[in-house]
C-alpha cells in the first residue's frame, strides 16, 4: 500500500468536504490536529491544504482557522456543474446553432484529407452491421466535422456537449428511439452533408446539417 502523501491527503480532504463532513461548522480542523489524525507531519498537511486553497475549496485565516469557501457561482466548476443539468431541448437548440455553423466552416476550411476522414466515418457508419457500431461512427462523423472547422473552441464545445449528453439520464432515450429505418434516414442525411462539404458549399453544408439535426430532434423529442 502506498504511503499517504500530500496529494493523497488533499484528495481525502476533498472527498470528506464534498461528503459534507464539516459543512455544519463551516471549517476544517486545525492543521496540527489533521496532521495527528493522518499520522503525518504538519508540513505535509499544510501542503495538502495548500492544494485545496489554490483551487478555492478552502480559505485560510491566520489565527482563526481554515474555512470552507462559499462555492463561487462564477467558477468554472460551478458552471460545468450547472451544465450537467441541461435539458435535451436546450441542448438540441444549441446544437442546431453550432453544428450547422461548424459544417459551414468545415466546407470552407477543411483540407482534402480531413474531408476524406469525414467521408470515411460516414461510410463506416453506413456499412456498420450493428447499432453500437453505427452509433460510434455516427458520433465520430459529427466530431470530425467539428475537427475540421478550424476553430478549436468550437470543437471543444462540441466535446463538452458530447460528454454532457453521454452522462445524461435522458441520453438513454436516444437508444430507445432507434430503429433500422431511422438509421437509413440518418445515412441519407449524412450523405447530403458530405456532398455539400466536398462541393465546398458552406451554405449547403449548413442547411444539410440543420435538416439532419431537425430529424434528430424529432426522433429524440417527438416534435
Nearer to DNA, 68 or 117 (CB): 68
For the CA atoms of 213, 215, 218, 221, what is the dihedral angle to 10 degrees? -40
Q: Which range in 57-65, 112-120, 130-138, 173-181 contacts DNA by CB under 7 A? A: 57-65
Q: Counting contacts by CB under 7 A, is residue 46 touching DNA?
A: yes
| Euclidean distance between CA atoms 104 and 209, whole angstroms | 9
Among the listed residues 113, 141, 109, the one whose alpha carbon sits nearest the alpha carbon of residue 128: 141
- Do 127 and 171 touch, CB atoms closer than 8 A? no
Instruction: Find which of a second copy, DNA, none residue 198 binds, CB within 5 to 8 Å per kind.
Output: none
* 128 burial type by CB count under 10 A (0-12 exposed, 13-18 middle, 19+ buried): middle
Provide CB contacts within 8 A for 180, sequence distance 6+. none
**Smallest gap from residue 216 Cβ to a second copy (A):** 16
44 is a contact residue toward DNA (CB under 7 A): yes
Taking the complex as a whole, the smallest distance from the CB of residue 63 to DNA amounts, in Å, to: 2
Rg of the Cα atoms in the chain: 24
Say which entry of DNA, a second copy, none residue 94 contacts (CB below 5 to 8 A, set by partner kind): a second copy
Of 31, 99, 114, 140, the residue at the interface with DNA (CB under 7 A) is 31
- Closer to a second copy at the Cβ: 78 or 111? 78
Binding-site ranges for a second copy (CB under 8 A): 2, 7-8, 11, 24-25, 27, 29-30, 33, 74-76, 79-80, 82-83, 85-87, 90-91, 93-94, 97-98, 101, 151-154, 156-157, 159-160, 162-163
Nearer residue to DNA within complex by CB, 20 or 39: 39
- Sign of the C-alpha dihedral, residues 128, 129, 131, 132? negative
Q: What is the DSSP letter of 151?
A: -
Q: Residues 14, 51, 60, 139: which binds DNA (CB under 7 A)? A: 60
Cell 449528453 -> residue: 165
Give contact residues for DNA (rule: CB under 7 A): 2-7, 28, 30-33, 39-44, 46-47, 49, 60-66
Amino acid at each position: 500500500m502506498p504511503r499517504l502523501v500530500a496529494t493523497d491527503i488533499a484528495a481525502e480532504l476533498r472527498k470528506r468536504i464534498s461528503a459534507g463532513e464539516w459543512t455544519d461548522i463551516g471549517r476544517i480542523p486545525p492543521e496540527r490536529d489533521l496532521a495527528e489524525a493522518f499520522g503525518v507531519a504538519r508540513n505535509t498537511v499544510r501542503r495538502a491544504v495548500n492544494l485545496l486553497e489554490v483551487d478555492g475549496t478552502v480559505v485560510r485565516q491566520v489565527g482563526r482557522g481554515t474555512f470552507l469557501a462559499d462555492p463561487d457561482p462564477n467558477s468554472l466548476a460551478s458552471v460545468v456543474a450547472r451544465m450537467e443539468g441541461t435539458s435535451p431541448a436546450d441542448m438540441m437548440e444549441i446544437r442546431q446553432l453550432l453544428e450547422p455553423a461548424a459544417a459551414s466552416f468545415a466546407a470552407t476550411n477543411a483540407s482534402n484529407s480531413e474531408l476524406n476522414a469525414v467521408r470515411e466515418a460516414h461510410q463506416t457508419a453506413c456499412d456498420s452491421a450493428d447499432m453500437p457500431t453505427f452509433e460510434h461512427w455516427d458520433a465520430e462523423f459529427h466530431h470530425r466535422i467539428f475537427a475540421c472547422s478550424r476553430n478549436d473552441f468550437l470543437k471543444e464545445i462540441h466535446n463538452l456537449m458530447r460528454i454532457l449528453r453521454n452522462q445524461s439520464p435522458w441520453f438513454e432515450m436516444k437508444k430507445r428511439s432507434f430503429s433500422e429505418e431511422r438509421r437509413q434516414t440518418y445515412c441519407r442525411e449524412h450523405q447530403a452533408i458530405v456532398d455539400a462539404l466536398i462541393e465546398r458549399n458552406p451554405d449547403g453544408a449548413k442547411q444539410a446539417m440543420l435538416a439532419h439535426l431537425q430529424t434528430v430532434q424529432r426522433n429524440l423529442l417527438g416534435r
